[in-house]
C-alpha cells in the first residue's frame, strides 16, 4: 500500500507521518466504535470532546506550557492571524514592532497597516534579499508586541534563538517550524501556526496565547475575529474543522509516543539538516542561499549553476520518486522542505540523487 508513496519535500501542505495517515485510514469508517467517521460525528459529542481535549493536553505537555497558556484552533490559516493580531492587541494609540524577514512578515505588516494600525519595522533583512536573520535589534519599550516570523519558509532562514524584547511580549508566526524543537514560551505572548506545514493538514491554525493577552481584547470586534471567543468556548463557539484537529491530535501523539518529545525531534531534525547542508557545502555545484548562521532546519533553499539545470534537476528528481523540490514561485531555485515527518532516509535518498545528478551534469 505504501510502496507508491514518494519522498515528499513539499513546503505545505506537506508530508505527514505515515503512521498518522494509517491511523486516519484505519479509524475512518468507524471512529472509536461510533459507527461514524470523524467527519460525521457531532462536534458536541463526547467523541470529539476527547479529540480536542487530548490535542490541547498534548500540545501543553510537548511545549511544557503552564496554566497561563491557552491552546486554540482557529480557521482562516496563518493569514487570518496577520489581521487578527493587530485587531485584538493594537489600540488607536498603541504601536507594534515588526521584524521583516521575508514574504510572510511583509504580509503580516501589510495586514496591520490596512487597518490603520501603527507599525514600526524595527529591523529588516530585505537589503540582502532576506537571506539572513537580523541581530542587535533596538525595540520600542512601549510596543504592544514584537512580531517575528520564526522560520521563513520561502527564503529558508530561521531564528536560531529569539531576541531580547524586555517586557514586551513576542508574537511569532511559527507556521513552518512549530514543534521542530523545544521552545521556551516565557518570552511569548502568542504563537500561531497554520497546521499544514509541520503539524497537520490545511484548514486549521493553532494559536497559543497567554492569559494577559486575552485581557486587552476589545469587546467591539466580530465574534469570530476575537481570541476570547475561542478561549471561552474551547475553540467550539461554532463548528470547528473537526478532521483537521483530529489529524493534529494524531501528530501530537506521534511526537510524544513515537518520537519521544521535542528534544528528540530536534536531534533528528539537526541530523537531517546537517546531512543535506553538509553535502551542499562540500562542493560548488549546489549553493545554499541562506547565510550560514541563519539557515533553516526545515526549508533548505539552494541553487544549481543554471536555471536550465534546476528545471532538469526537479524533473529528474520527480521521476526518481522525489517531489516538491521546486523553490517558491517568487524566488525560483530549489527547496527541500524537511519538516518533522520527513525521515532521515528521505534525506539520504535525496543526497544520493544529488551526487549522481552532479556527476552527470557537473
Ligand atoms: C505558509 C505560511 C503562511 C500562510 O499560511 P496560510 O495557512 O496559508 O494562511 C504564513 N506564514 C508562514 C511562515 C508560512 O510558512
Q: What is the pLDDT of residues 104-126, one digit of tens each?
A: 999 999 999 999 999 999 999 99
Atom of ligand 1 nearest to the CA of 80: 9
Q: What value does the mean pLDDT take over residues 242-259?
A: 98
Q: 136: phi > 0 → left, psi -120 to 50 → alpha, else beta; which?
A: left
Contact assessment for residue 241 and residue 92, using Cβ atoms and an 8 Å cutoff: no
* Ligand 1: centre distance to CA 188 (Å): 19
SS3 call for 322: strand
Cα(235)–Cα(74) distance, integer angstroms: 7
Contact status, residue 256 vs residue 199, Cβ threshold 8 Å: no
Active site residue 254: no
147 lines ligand 1 (CB under 6 A): no
Rg (CA), the chain: 21
pLDDT for 273-314, tens place per residue? 999 999 999 999 999 999 999 999 999 999 999 999 999 999
Instruction: Give the chain's end-to-end CA distance (angstroms, integer).
Output: 37
Question: In the structure grid, which three cell numbers stand for residue 198, read together?
Answer: 509541520
Can 292 be counted among the known catalytic residues? Answer: no
Q: Which three cell numbers stand for residue 262?
A: 521535542
How many Å separate Cα 72 from the centre of its chain? 15
Cα–ligand 1 centroid distance for 165 (angstroms): 24
Angle between the N-to-C axes of helices 307-319 and 344-361, in degrees from 0 to 180, rounded to the nearest 10: 130
Confidence at residue 1, expressed as pLDDT on a 0 to 100 scale: 46
Q: Which of 203, 152, 147, 200 is nearest to 176 (CA)?
A: 152
For residue 173, indicate whether it is catalytic.
yes
The mean per-residue pLDDT over the stretch 224-250 comes to: 98
Judge if the beta carbon of residue 173 lies within 6 A of ligand 1.
yes
pLDDT digits (tens, 9 = 90+) for 169-227: 999 999 999 999 999 999 999 999 999 999 999 999 999 999 999 999 999 999 999 99
Predicted local confidence at residue 118, as pLDDT: 97
Question: Which residue minimizes the CA distance to atom 3 of ligand 1?
Answer: 78
**Does 55 have pLDDT greater than 80?**
yes
How far CA 260 is from CA of 257, 271, 325, in Å, comes to 5, 16, 29
pTM of the model: 0.97
Centre of ligand 1 to C-alpha 356, Å, is: 34
Query: Does the Cβ of 200 fall within 6 Å of ligand 1?
Result: no
Q: pLDDT category, 158, cuts 50, 70, 90?
A: very high
pLDDT at residue 2, as a whole number: 58
Q: At what angle do helices 77-89 and 103-114 cross, to 10 degrees?
A: 40
Mean pLDDT of 330-341: 95
pLDDT of residue 92: 87
Q: Which one of 155, 197, 226, 326 is the catalytic residue?
A: 197
Q: Count CB atoms within 10 A of the CB of residue 14.
A: 26
Q: How confident is the model at residue 4 (pLDDT cuts 50, 70, 90)?
A: confident
Residues whose CB falls within 8 Å of the CB of residue 302, separated by 6 or more in sequence, listed in order:
280, 286, 287, 288, 289, 333, 334, 335, 336
200 Cα: distance to centroid of ligand 1 (angstroms): 13
Q: Which domains are seen in the chain, by residue range?
A: 21-258 (3.40.640.10), 261-361 (3.90.1150.10)
**pLDDT > 70: what percent of the chain?**
99
Return mean pLDDT, the chain. Answer: 97
**Cβ contact 104:265 at 8 Å:** no
Determine if ligand 1 sits within 6 Å of the CB of residue 83: no
Amino acid at each position: 500500500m505504501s510502496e507508491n508513496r514518494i519522498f515528499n519535500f513539499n513546503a505545505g501542505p506537506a508530508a505527514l507521518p505515515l503512521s498518522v495517515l494509517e491511523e486516519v485510514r484505519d479509524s475512518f469508517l468507524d471512529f472509536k466504535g461510533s459507527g461514524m467517521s470523524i467527519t460525521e460525528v457531532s462536534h458536541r459529542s463526547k467523541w470529539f470532546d476527547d479529540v480536542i481535549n487530548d490535542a490541547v493536553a498534548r500540545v501543553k505537555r510537548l511545549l511544557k506550557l503552564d496554566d497561563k497558556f491557552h491552546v486554540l484552533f482557529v480557521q482562516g490559516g496563518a493569514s487570518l492571524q496577520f489581521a487578527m493580531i493587530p485587531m485584538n492587541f493594537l489600540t488607536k494609540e498603541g504601536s507594534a514592532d515588526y521584524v521583516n524577514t521575508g514574504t510572510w512578515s511583509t504580509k503580516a505588516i501589510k495586514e496591520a497597516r490596512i487597518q490603520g494600525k501603527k507599525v514600526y519595522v524595527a529591523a529588516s533583512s530585505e537589503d540582502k534579499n532576506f537571506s539572513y536573520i537580523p541581530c542587535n535589534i533596538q525595540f520600542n519599550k512601549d510596543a504592544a508586541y514584537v512580531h517575528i516570523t520564526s522560520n521563513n519558509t520561502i527564503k529558508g532562514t530561521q531564528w536560531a534563538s529569539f531576541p531580547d524584547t524586555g517586557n514586551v511580549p513576542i508574537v511569532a508566526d511559527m507556521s513552518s517550524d512549530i514543534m521542530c524543537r523545544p521552545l521556551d514560551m516565557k518570552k511569548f505572548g502568542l504563537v500561531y501556526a497554520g497546521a499544514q506545514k509541520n503539524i497537520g493538514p490545511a484548514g486549521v491554525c493553532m494559536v497559543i496565547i497567554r492569559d494577559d493577552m486575552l485581557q486587552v481584547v476589545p469587546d467591539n470586534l466580530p465574534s469570530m475575529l476575537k481570541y476570547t471567543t475561542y478561549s471561552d468556548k474551547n475553540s467550539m463557539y461554532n463548528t470547528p474543522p473537526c478532521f483537521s484537529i483530529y489529524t493534529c491530535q494524531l501528530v501530537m501523539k506521534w511526537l510524544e509516543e513515537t518520537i519521544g518529545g521535542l528534544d528528540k525531534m530536534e536531534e533528528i531534525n539537526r541530523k537531517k539538516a546537517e546531512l543535506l547542508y553538509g553535502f551542499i557545502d562540500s562542493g560548488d555545484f549546489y549553493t545554499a542561499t541562506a547565510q550560514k548562521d541563519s539557515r533553516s532546519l526545515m526549508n533548505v533553499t539552494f541553487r544549481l549553476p543554471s536555471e536550465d539545470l534546476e528545471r532538469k534537476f526537479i524533473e529528474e528528481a520527480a521521476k526518481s520518486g522525489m517531489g516538491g523540490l521546486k523553490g517558491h514561485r517568487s524566488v525560483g531555485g530549489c527547496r527541500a522542505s524537511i519538516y518533522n515527518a520527513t525521515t532521515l532516509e528521505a534525506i539520504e535518498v535525496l543526497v544520493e540523487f544529488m551526487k549522481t545528478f552532479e556527476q552527470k551534469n557537473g
